[in-house]
Amino acid sequence: MKINIPLSEWTAHSSLRAWIGDAIRKCKPKSVHLCDGSSEEFDKIAAEMVKKGSLVPLSKRPGSFWCHSHPDDVARVEECTYICSKSKEDAGPTNHWREPGEMKEHLRSLFSGCMQGRTMYVIPYCMAPFGSPLAHVGVEITDSPYVVLNMKLMTRMGKEALSQLEDGEFIPGLHSVGVPLEEGEDDVPWPCNPKERIIVHFPEEKSIYSYGSGYGGNALLGKKCFALRIASVMAKEKGWLAEHMLILGLTNPEGEKKYIAAAFPSACGKTNLAMLTPTLPGWKAECVGDDIAWMYFGKDGRLYAVNPEAGYFGVAPGTSMKTNPIAMRTIERNAIFTNTAYADGDVWWEGLSETPPPNLINWQNKPWDGKSPAAHPNSRFTVAMAQCPALDPAANDPAGVPISAILFGGRRHGVTPLVVESLSWNHGVFMGASLSSESTAAVKGEVGKLRHDPFAMRSFCGYHMGDYFAHWIEMGKRGAASKLPRIYSVNWFRRDSKGKFVWPGFGENNRVLKWIFERTSNRAAANSTPIGYLPAPEALDLSGLTVDLQSLFSIDQSAWKEETEKLKSYFQHFEMHFPKELEDELQCLEERLS
């Protein structure tokens, strides 16, 4: 077996060396590559993948590549994702659970010899800016070169991350595509093993195992596995928050700047909002992060947020110069495109242009038939955030940015108005716990079905979600009451009786954010309603825009009463773990509606 650097020279960390050695003995790779995170390393691995046929260089996007996955390895697989806490009750009703000892025995069987004929890559990476009080080092072991390239773009990976470790703890993650190769056996462009696919988290041990998938959050273990499922447990233990939220900086025409965090289920417009191009004159928007926020209370009593990631793994379909010009400029070079369509040295997807280019190759590397989707609905681009032309100057600030408002939103045809301000912190937590959204292609399964997705964390909370709600309640007591962020519900996706969207969305969302911005300084008027504060007449800047305010803000009493009954039934799933404070909020809502 070959190794590119003597392990003792690569790190002096004894427990890390021992863990790597154990993985080598268990997985039996043909060679080991200890990653340094350099551009030279990236280019070499990419060239090897091009030679193998796994990547296609894009002549029209310098430094960029196109690839396509196995047809059954295209999204997160919640049914194969487990939280193996010591107690089943600690995992809660929103997670799949198996007894840790039983699961470890199963994993031992799966990983035994799983990297035969392949190179094992060892990837050190840091989540959150170097020097941040929330920064943590992870190490992913994988047999997928695709994972190495994406982790290079998505995280602070390599020597500097390893140097942060010193003698401290790290989050171990072991990943394999689950397809060992016999001597002389040819590989396939996208190796995976859907029949044995499994993603496992041990919250008490803070460890991650992933087998059988090479795609997205199933394989890039720093993303959902570490930064949300494991980090949410760490955050509860240490008194901070790990959230499925974008972070956006907003500056008004007078030069005043504020930051918001916003939680939306995957493929519900987080990246579009994070890279907002304001339509109102004089407003400026800058992106800190588009997917995950780690937040803590500073010494001044304010809530601060850092983006633990260093890149974007964005949904491609629907992204265009009209909907998200910032994203389009970000991915002009040095990007990886997965499961989009391909033609003449460039990529394409539905929504990119009105007409597709000729001779289009679909996401399965076959000539497009003109009927089925050319790009998979969950096709993605991966790119470093440093390329974003609207990157916030504080995106790499170790201290993070102070949060003035928190938004919760999903896809709802009706019921939920365009924007509602909570009556209090606890009422805002109730809003987050009540969040429902129509499912999207980001998760394998039925698309368009309404499902509860509290805080947009249903798939990502690493412990009992009832305890997670209680943690949010307790966090509200940690900060200075007068400095707590205000909390809002938003719904860009409301439709009229004919099924048409009532709100134009995208850059026009700046108008809603302006009202929120001014509300946090008590400069915008609002009217009290049974469900919270709505913008007062004329308070929402609609200059130059014609919309039906009645359709955007009407409150259907009967629909809301039905909503409360559904919530009452849903909250029963959390049994004794459901906080009394939220029971009180539900009761108060019922009383206000009556």
Task: Check pLDDT > 90 for residue 308.
Answer: yes
Closest by CA to 431, choosing from 454, 413, 452, is 454
DSSP classification of residue 157: E
Closest by CA to 260, choosing from 34, 519, 478, is 519
Q: In the prediction, which pLDDT does 265 show?
A: 86
pLDDT band at 480 (very low <50, low <70, confident <90, very high): confident
521 in a domain, yes or no? yes
Catalytic residue among 35, 80, 84, 268: 268
376: three-class secondary structure by DSSP: coil
Looking at the fold, whether 214 and 335 belong to one and the same domain comes out as no
End-to-end CA distance of the chain: 72
Over range 347-352, report the average pLDDT. Answer: 98
Looking at the fold, whether 459 and 322 belong to one and the same domain comes out as no
pLDDT band at 446 (very low <50, low <70, confident <90, very high): low
Looking at the fold, whether 361 and 420 belong to one and the same domain comes out as no
Report the CATH number that the domain containing residue 319 is assigned in CATH. 2.170.8.10
The pTM of this model reads 0.96
Q: What is the mean pLDDT of the chain?
A: 96
Q: In the prediction, which pLDDT does 444 show?
A: 52
Looking at the fold, whether 278 and 131 belong to one and the same domain comes out as no
Last residue of a domain, one of 344, 361, 387: 387
Question: Which residue has 């943590």 as its token pair?
Answer: 136
466 in a domain, yes or no? yes
Over range 568-582, report the average pLDDT. Answer: 97
Q: In the prediction, which pLDDT does 166 show?
A: 81
Looking at the fold, whether 209 and 325 belong to one and the same domain comes out as no
pLDDT band at 307 (very low <50, low <70, confident <90, very high): very high
Looking at the fold, whether 348 and 295 belong to one and the same domain comes out as no
- Two tokens, residue 122: 């060892």
Report the CATH number that the domain containing residue 588 is assigned in CATH. 3.90.228.20
Last residue of a domain, one of 360, 387, 414: 387
Last residue of a domain, one of 237, 253, 280: 237
Looking at the fold, whether 335 and 436 belong to one and the same domain comes out as no
CA–CA distance, 239 with 258 (Å, rounded to integer): 24
- Phi, psi torsion values for 225, nearest 5 degrees: -65, -50
CA–CA distance, 133 with 240 (Å, rounded to integer): 11
pLDDT in tens, 394-436: 999 999 999 999 999 998 888 899 999 999 999 999 999 999 9
DSSP classification of residue 386: G
283 in a domain, yes or no? yes
Over range 333-338, report the average pLDDT. Answer: 98
- If one counts every other C-beta atom within 10 angstroms of the C-beta of residue 195, the result is 8
pLDDT in tens, 264-277: 987 688 999 999 99
Looking at the fold, whether 351 and 426 belong to one and the same domain comes out as no
59 in a domain, yes or no? no
Closest by CA to 176, choosing from 213, 226, 215, is 213
268 is catalytic: yes
Looking at the fold, whether 363 and 459 belong to one and the same domain comes out as no
Rounded to the nearest 10°, the torsion over CA 352, 358, 364, 366 is 170
Looking at the fold, whether 298 and 246 belong to one and the same domain comes out as yes
CA–CA distance, 536 with 86 (Å, rounded to integer): 51
Q: In the prediction, which pLDDT does 168 show?
A: 87
Domain count of the fold of the chain: 3
Contact 316, 340 (CB under 8 A): yes
Contact 305, 287 (CB under 8 A): no
Looking at the fold, whether 549 and 568 belong to one and the same domain comes out as yes
**Higher-scoring residue by pLDDT: 20, 497:** 20
Contact 103, 137 (CB under 8 A): no
Dihedral of CA 241/569/91/126: which sign? negative
pLDDT in tens, 522-538: 999 999 999 999 999 89
The range of the structural domain enclosing residue 347 comes to 312-387
Looking at the fold, whether 254 and 374 belong to one and the same domain comes out as no
Closest by CA to 406, choosing from 418, 422, 394, is 422
Helix, strand, coil in percent for the chain, rounding step 5? 30, 25, 45
**Those residues with Cβ within 8 angstroms of residue 305's Cβ, 6 or more apart along the chain or in another chain:** 245, 247, 259, 261, 288, 293, 294, 295, 400, 401, 403
528: three-class secondary structure by DSSP: strand
- Two tokens, residue 21: 């050695």
Closest by CA to 232, choosing from 402, 454, 77, 395, is 454
Dihedral of CA 516/522/527/531: which sign? positive
541 in a domain, yes or no? yes
Task: Check pLDDT > 60 for residue 90.
Answer: yes
By residue count, the chain amounts to 594
165 in a domain, yes or no? yes
Q: In the prediction, which pLDDT does 1 show?
A: 84
421 in a domain, yes or no? yes
63 in a domain, yes or no? no
Q: In the prediction, which pLDDT does 346 show?
A: 98
482: three-class secondary structure by DSSP: helix
pLDDT in tens, 191-229: 999 999 999 999 999 999 999 999 999 999 999 999 999
Q: In the prediction, which pLDDT does 497 show?
A: 84
